[in-house]
Amino acid sequence: MKRHFDNKETLSDEMQPKETVAKARPQSILEAFEYIIESAENTKLSEEFFEKASVYIKYASRKLKLSPMQTVLLALFVDRSEDNSIRISEIASYTGCRTTKMLRLASEIDALAEKHYLRVSRSERRLSYRIPSCVLDALKKNQPYIHHVEPIVDLQTFFDRFNDLIKSMEDGEMTHAALLTQTKECLAEIKATYFARTLKSFELYDEDVLLFIFMAHLFVENNDNRICFSDLEGLYDNNKMPNGHKVELRAHKSDLFEYNLIENVNEDGMARTDCFRLTEYAKTDLLSELNLNVKSKSNFNLIKSESFPEKKLIYNIPEKHQVEELSSILSADRFNEVQSRLRNAGMRTGFCSLFYGSPGTGKTETVYQIARATGRDILRVDVDKIKSCWVGESEQNMKQLFDGYRNICKESSLAPILLFNEADAILGVRMEGATRAVDKMENSIQNIILQEMEALEGIMIATTNLTTNLDKAFERRFLYKIRFNRPTIEARAQIWQSMLPLLTTDDARTLASQFDLSGGEIENVTRKYTVGSILSGRDTVDLPSIIDLCRNERISGSAPKKIGF
């Protein structure tokens, strides 16, 4: 009966202290990782460590289809997954490894990155890593992470994918070379699209293709069509664009200019050599599969030419000749001929005209009568509706206006007239050194209009009462500038008789001589006189009544009232 319990042979299995308990088969990848992490501290990742944790390493390796070393490294990275910038030095410090050993393991870490278990960041010129949340989700489910990429089926999904690549580039998780390669692969997936086929036909260098796609991406994603070198820096490693690329773009030697894909931004009539935008061809033709075009007919209401009643306008002799000349040029056949000759001569084909002068001299009505005579509809611009209290929205509204007008011109057999009526607010001298937000906004709107006038291929007419405060940059861009002076005595007499046919020539001359009224003011007087005649039943001309109405027409012409005591 003197049996001792220290005899191992007599102990039951349950009572035996086994080392094998520590080597029990794990139930999940994360459980295996937990033991691996605890065992790896200060082991220098030695053979003894791998032997001790072999059951757990083998389990996780088989599950994840990774090598034993890759499994251990992944466990160490996962342990620090809350940090989006994990340094190799942290892993080395925990395991007690020297830097040289970690450098020898670089290929194993790269393999984890290639299998998308890790994301590598080279931002700020330092190497760091992070574990994506999708990897953690897979490990929680006790599954290996399988990187799945949605197929690119059209141009829209191509730009969606490219947007993801650019975000990786911005996060430092992709090199320029990798971006170039992956963009080519994505482009190959949509090789049947008009976009890909057209780009291929240009036989551009790969770098030029990437540069254009990046510019198109900025336009598609951000509606950014004013792209400077500072915007392009992010396309390259260390945010530094090679000087050779800059020189090509500055010197206008890039093939992107030759194939009409990009153009310089114009400001104050000068081309910015460091600022670019997509051409209308690139936006409306090459990117047509994206349906980016502004639907002009739904967003803008045209005033039909036939809606304007015929009205006889009487001008002074100089204005009469200029209006008749412009009206003749804007007739359908004549206008096409003139545009064709200008195009062949390498000149701008758009017609920008300015009607300026005192109120009531017939500027707006002249536009209506030209539209009626030439059969051209009018797209009338209400500047107050374009302006917005939100920063940047007014400028965007103005860009959309011109985009819409371009689309209308393409959809119409006869280009309509873009009418900026009473455009005093946008044609005045720009503010130099503007600091207030409202002044900056006004300047931005004016710069957009100046740029669009340069590229205009249709017809734009602006009317204004300004006579001395017109900005010189606008003055240069108006091909026809017609000054509407107040009518002469002879013209006023004709206006009186045209509006009141019962007036005798002498009475009309008397009214014209006594009152220096504009055509608009004469029309007001005759309307009031006609209303009075209808109410009183009068059917003859009452010259004294007309004279009284003339005297009361101008508020500013009445005698000043004394104020005070």
Q: What is the pLDDT along the chain (565 residues), one digit of tens a residue?
A: 333 434 433 333 444 444 444 457 889 999 999 999 999 999 999 999 999 999 999 999 999 999 999 999 999 999 998 888 888 899 999 999 988 888 889 899 999 988 989 988 876 567 888 898 889 999 999 999 988 878 898 999 999 999 989 988 887 788 899 899 999 999 999 999 999 999 999 999 999 999 999 999 988 887 777 888 888 988 888 778 899 889 999 988 899 998 989 998 876 556 778 889 998 888 888 998 887 643 333 345 688 998 888 888 889 998 999 999 999 999 988 898 888 888 888 888 889 999 998 888 899 999 999 999 999 999 998 777 676 545 456 777 788 888 888 888 877 888 999 999 888 878 877 666 555 666 777 788 888 888 889 888 899 999 988 766 777 888 888 989 999 988 999 999 999 999 998 899 999 999 999 999 988 899 999 999 988 888 888 888 889 999 999 998 876 544 443 333 2
Got the DSSP string for 328-364? HHTSHHHHHHHHHHHHHTT----EEEEEEESTTSSHH
Classified as helix, coil or strand, 258 is helix
Classified as helix, coil or strand, 264 is strand
Architecture per CATH, 489-553: Orthogonal Bundle (1.10)
**CA distance readout (Å), 8 to 3, 5, 18, 445:** 11, 7, 11, 94
Query: Which pLDDT score, from 0 to 100, does residue 564 have?
Result: 36
List 351's β-bridge partners, or say none.
459
Rg of the chain taking only CA atoms, in angstroms: 39
Give the Cα separation of 137 and 374 in Å (integer): 69
Other CB atoms within 10 Å distance of the CB of residue 280? 15
Judge whether 378 and 303 are in contact, CB under 8 Å.
Answer: yes
Query: Which pLDDT score, from 0 to 100, does residue 559 have?
Result: 42
Query: Which pLDDT score, from 0 to 100, does residue 302 have?
Result: 84
Give the Cα separation of 423 and 398 in Å (integer): 14
Judge whether 389 and 429 are in contact, CB under 8 Å.
Answer: no
Query: Which pLDDT score, from 0 to 100, does residue 560 have?
Result: 41
CA angle 186, 191, 195 (to 5 degrees): 95
Query: Which pLDDT score, from 0 to 100, does residue 515 have?
Result: 93
Q: 294, 443, 308: which is closest to 365 by C-alpha?
A: 308
Single pTM value for the model: 0.47
Two tokens at 230?
């500072």
Give the Cα separation of 546 and 440 in Å (integer): 49
- Which distant-in-sequence residues (6+ apart) come within 8 Å of 206 by Cβ? 180, 184
Judge whether 379 and 300 are in contact, CB under 8 Å.
Answer: yes
Strand order across the beta sheet in which 270-278 lies: 227-228, 270-278, 262-267
Give the Cα separation of 554 and 399 in Å (integer): 40
Two tokens at 335?
């206008």
Give the Cα separation of 493 and 28 in Å (integer): 102
Amino acid type, 93: S
Give the Cα separation of 38 and 230 in Å (integer): 48
The residues of the chain that CATH labels 1.10.8 are 489-553
In the chain, what is the greatest distance between 2 CA atoms, to the nearest angstrom?
155
Give the Cα separation of 377 and 379 in Å (integer): 7
Judge whether 553 and 524 are in contact, CB under 8 Å.
Answer: yes
Overall size of the chain counted in residues = 565
List 262's β-bridge partners, or say none.
278
Alpha helices in 105-174 (DSSP H): 106-114, 133-140, 155-170
The residues of the chain that CATH labels 1.10.10 are 15-140
Query: Domain 15-140, CATH 2.60.120 — does that match?
Result: no
Residue pointed to by tokens 């758009």 = 350
Cβ-count burial of 85 within 10 angstroms (0-12 exposed, 13-18 middle, 19+ buried)? middle
Two tokens at 136?
């953690």
Give the Cα separation of 389 and 58 in Å (integer): 65
**CA distance readout (Å), 55 to 52, 62, 68, 254:** 8, 11, 11, 61
Q: Which CATH class is domain 305-484?
A: alpha beta
